[in-house]
């Protein structure tokens, strides 16, 4: 009788152990490949994170938002509760400004007869940072001397990105 109870107990333990779904041996929680550097004022796409338990893969996205109008380091956090355990990862995204300002010559009269004063119509400056930028002008036009004169316009944004554009003014006899 004792043998029967011991054998029955062992069988019950084996059967109950087999019924337990068990906990996966390994659980991997990783960041999906993505762009971790974004240019100021552009759209950043969250590629999410993946949790894999050997059989299943779960892709999650963060509730955090990225403000790409502010330069610097941003933290995007991913959190998932799986099998009563909390998994958390952080992605670091850097907002940079590596784009120089765009310069456009404003239309103007750039070919004049000798003795006529040249009027600088200037340029427009736009920048991806949405800053209001000023520009510097170098060069002079001697309106009483025939020749071709180069005027150089330069603008620099707050991130140090610089661009130049040239205008050529011709004074004819």
- Judged against a pLDDT cut of 60, whether residue 167 lies above it is answered with yes
Do the Cβ atoms of 150 and 164 come closer than 8 Å? no
Average pLDDT, the chain: 90
- Judged against a pLDDT cut of 60, whether residue 10 lies above it is answered with no
102-172 folds as Immunoglobulin-like (2.60.40)
- Judged against a pLDDT cut of 70, whether residue 18 lies above it is answered with no
* CATH 2.60.40.10 intervals, the chain: 25-96, 102-172
Q: Give the lowest-confidence range in 18-22, 27-31, 82-86, 168-172.
A: 18-22
Band of pLDDT at residue 54, cut at 50, 70 and 90? confident
Among the CATH numbers 2.30.30.90, 2.60.40.10, 3.30.1490.20, 3.30.200.20, which is that of 25-96?
2.60.40.10
Band of pLDDT at residue 25, cut at 50, 70 and 90? confident
- Judged against a pLDDT cut of 70, whether residue 168 lies above it is answered with yes
- Judged against a pLDDT cut of 50, whether residue 8 lies above it is answered with no
Mean pLDDT of 32-55: 95
Write down the pLDDT at residue 173: 94
- Judged against a pLDDT cut of 70, whether residue 63 lies above it is answered with yes
Mean pLDDT of 26-30: 93
Give the rounded percent of residues in the chain with a pLDDT score beyond 70. 86
In three-state form (DSSP H/G/I as H, E/B as E, the rest C), the secondary structure along the chain is CHHHHHHHHHHHHHHHHHHCCCCCCCCEEEECCCCCEEECCCCCCCCCEEEECCCCEEEECCCCCCCCCCCEEEEEEEEEEECCEEEEEEEEEEEECCCCCEEEECCCCCEEECCCCCCCCCEEEECCCCCCCCCEEECCCCCCCCEEEEEEEEEECCCCCEEEEEEEEEEEC
């Amino acid at each position: 009788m004792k043998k029967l109870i011991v054998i029955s107990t062992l069988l019950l333990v084996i059967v109950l152990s087999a019924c337990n779904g068990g906990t996966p041996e390994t659980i991997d929680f990783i960041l999906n490949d993505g762009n971790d550097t974004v240019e100021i004022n552009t759209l950043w796409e969250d590629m999410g994170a993946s949790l894999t338990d050997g059989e299943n893969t779960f892709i999650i996205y963060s509730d955090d938002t990225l403000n790409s109008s502010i330069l610097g380091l941003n933290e995007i956090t991913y959190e998932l509760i799986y099998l009563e355990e909390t998994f958390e990862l952080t992605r670091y995204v850097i907002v940079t400004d590596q784009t120089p300002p765009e310069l456009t010559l404003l239309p103007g009269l750039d070919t004049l007869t000798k003795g006529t004063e040249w009027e600088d119509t200037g340029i427009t400056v736009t920048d991806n940072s949405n800053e209001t930028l000023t520009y510097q002008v170098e060069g002079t036009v001697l309106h009483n001397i025939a020749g071709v004169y180069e005027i150089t316009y330069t603008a620099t944004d707050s991130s140090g990105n610089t661009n130049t554009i040239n205008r050529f003014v011709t004074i004819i006899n």
